[in-house]
């Protein structure tokens, strides 16, 4: 009977080179966009107003890049991470084409690495996940690796394959939209700074804090059709390690991005994901703050420049002292997200 239900893949179900076409393509509409606004309060002008987008040369406002990410990510969960112990990292992520309301997204992952852990109980699975629109055009391409349980601890270990993933996306490989800045109005964008106003090493406290409610993170995670059990079931999580439902790490990314408007309003395009770690769990009732550091600036061709940013989220303490790592190199207490990405900004 249980043969009808999906138990998810265990470590020994994966093989290098395996293709996983994920279920349930999804049409993204203005409905998702509004829900996303209600969840994160985003005010980035390109995604907020058709008129601003059209002035920049778009047919209309594209959806938030992180909404695209979460939907593609959500599709991978039933096949990749239903039996995950931990989401270990991201690399080599690129947003390759904008997504507009009406587009239908589907996703496929390819297994690019496998390494059993010495305890024989778990292993790391590396996947390259690709999101495509209804034209078959790739909108997002990224790698992540997760620690997955074995079904049978006696199953033999596969030959280890660890992909060589770069620390950062080469900015020359970012896909940069050919926007028209002739009607660019900083007053409507919300901040007058441009590419040249940001310097490597600069740190920005995003000031505000936002408290998370159970209803919010669950509605968000369902909006992404992400089915990871730990986010939804207090009956079992109440007996679990934390006694609480765990919040989807992507919810924190989007909360931090929403907060980051205050200081990064003109950085309206997310172009690449260099890496990221969910360094500690978050729970309903936590208040999230964020700060960002400019790690690098890349004066790429065209009207936009690239800022390599680290955005750090912390909980139940403000970010005015830029908490990041302790002397031991480990994430500082209360730091819950350490995200390294490329954003684009008008020159």
Per CB under 8 A, the list member of 102, 120, 160, 326 interacting with a second copy is: 102
Identify which of residues 159 and 215 has a Cβ nearer to a second copy in the complex.
215
Identify which of residues 30 and 299 has a Cβ nearer to a second copy in the complex.
30
Alpha carbon distance 313, 291 (integer Å): 7
184-215: burial string, b at 16+ Cβ within 10 Å, e else? beeeebebebbbeebeeeeebbbebbbebebe
Degrees, nearest 5: CA angle 283-226-211? 25
Alpha carbon distance 121, 155 (integer Å): 10
Distant-in-sequence, close-in-space partners of 292: CB < 8 Å, separation ≥ 6:
203, 204, 206, 260, 263, 264, 309, 310, 311, 312
The least CB distance from residue 307 to a second copy, in Å, is: 12
Task: State which H helix or E strand residue 261 sits in.
Answer: helix 261-264
Show contacts with a second copy in window 40-59 (CB under 8 A).
40-45, 48-52
Tokens of 311: 């955005």
Query: What is the number of alpha carbons within 13 Å of residue 223 lying toward its C-beta?
Result: 26
Q: Which stretch binds a second copy (CB under 8 A): 38-46, 163-171, 275-283, 337-345?
A: 38-46
CB 136 within 8 A of CB 36: no
How many positions of this chain bind a second copy (CB under 8 A)? Answer: 87
Identify which of residues 38 and 162 has a Cβ nearer to a second copy in the complex.
38
Q: Does 30 bind a second copy (CB under 8 A)?
A: yes
The least CB distance from residue 256 to a second copy, in Å, is: 14
Q: Does 205 bind a second copy (CB under 8 A)?
A: yes
Alpha carbon distance 337, 66 (integer Å): 15
Show contacts with a second copy in window 118-137 (CB under 8 A).
134
Show contacts with a second copy in window 226-285 (CB under 8 A).
226-227, 229, 232-236, 245, 258, 262-265, 285
Show contacts with a second copy in window 184-203 (CB under 8 A).
187-191, 193, 197, 202-203
Residue 238, SS3 per DSSP: coil
Q: Does 29 bind a second copy (CB under 8 A)?
A: yes
The least CB distance from residue 33 to a second copy, in Å, is: 6
Q: Does 38 bind a second copy (CB under 8 A)?
A: yes
Of 111, 35, 69, 27, the closest CA to residue 271 belongs to 69
CB 42 within 8 A of CB 165: no
Contact flags string 67-96 toward a second copy, x per CB under 8 A: -----------x------------------
CB 327 within 8 A of CB 302: no
Identify which of residues 157 and 219 has a Cβ nearer to a second copy in the complex.
219
* Tally of residues, the chain: 347
CB 138 within 8 A of CB 132: yes
Show contacts with a second copy in window 286-305 (CB under 8 A).
287
The least CB distance from residue 142 to a second copy, in Å, is: 21
The least CB distance from residue 58 to a second copy, in Å, is: 12
Q: Does 104 bind a second copy (CB under 8 A)?
A: yes
Per CB under 8 A, the list member of 13, 16, 18, 37 interacting with a second copy is: 37
Q: Which stretch binds a second copy (CB under 8 A): 109-117, 121-129, 169-177, 204-212?
A: 204-212
Show contacts with a second copy in window 138-167 (CB under 8 A).
none
Identify which of residues 235 and 241 has a Cβ nearer to a second copy in the complex.
235
Alpha carbon distance 241, 6 (integer Å): 24
Identify which of residues 21 and 160 has a Cβ nearer to a second copy in the complex.
21
């Amino acid at each position: 009977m249980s043969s009808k239900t999906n138990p998810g893949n265990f470590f020994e179900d994966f093989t290098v080179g395996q293709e996983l076409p994920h279920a349930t393509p999804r049409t993204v509409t203005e409905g998702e966009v509004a829900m996303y606004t209600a969840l994160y309060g985003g005010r980035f002008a390109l995604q907020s107003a058709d008129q601003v987008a059209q002035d920049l040369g778009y047919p209309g406002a594209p959806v938030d890049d992180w909404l695209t990410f979460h939907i593609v990510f959500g599709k991978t969960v039933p096949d990749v991470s239903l039996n995950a112990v931990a989401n270990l990292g991201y690399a080599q992520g690129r947003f390759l084409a904008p997504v507009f309301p009406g587009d239908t997204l589907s996703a496929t992952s390819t297994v690019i690495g496998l390494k059993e852990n010495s305890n024989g109980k778990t292993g790391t699975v590396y996947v390259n996940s690709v999101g495509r629109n209804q034209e078959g055009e790739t909108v997002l391409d990224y790698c992540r690796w997760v620690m997955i349980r074995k079904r049978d601890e006696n199953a033999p270990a596969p030959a280890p394959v660890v992909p060589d993933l770069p620390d950062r996306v080469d900015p020359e490989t970012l896909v940069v939209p050919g926007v028209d800045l002739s009607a660019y109005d900083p007053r409507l964008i919300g901040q007058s700074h441009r590419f040249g106003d940001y310097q490597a090493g600069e740190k920005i406290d995003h000031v505000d804090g936002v408290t998370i409610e159970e209803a919010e993170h669950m509605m968000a995670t369902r909006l992404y059709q992400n089915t990871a059990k730990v986010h939804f079931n207090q009956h079992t999580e109440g007996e679990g390690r934390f006694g609480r439902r765990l919040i989807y790490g992507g919810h924190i990314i989007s909360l931090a991005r929403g907060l980051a408007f205050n200081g990064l309003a003109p950085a309206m395009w997310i172009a690449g994901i260099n890496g990221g770690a969910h360094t500690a769990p978050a729970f309903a009732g936590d208040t999230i703050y964020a700060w960002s550091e400019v790690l690098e600036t890349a004066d790429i061709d065209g009207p936009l420049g690239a800022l390599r940013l680290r955005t750090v989220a912390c909980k139940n303490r403000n970010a005015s002292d830029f908490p990041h790592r302790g002397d031991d190199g480990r994430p500082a207490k209360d730091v819950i997200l350490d995200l390294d990405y490329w954003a684009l900004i008008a020159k």
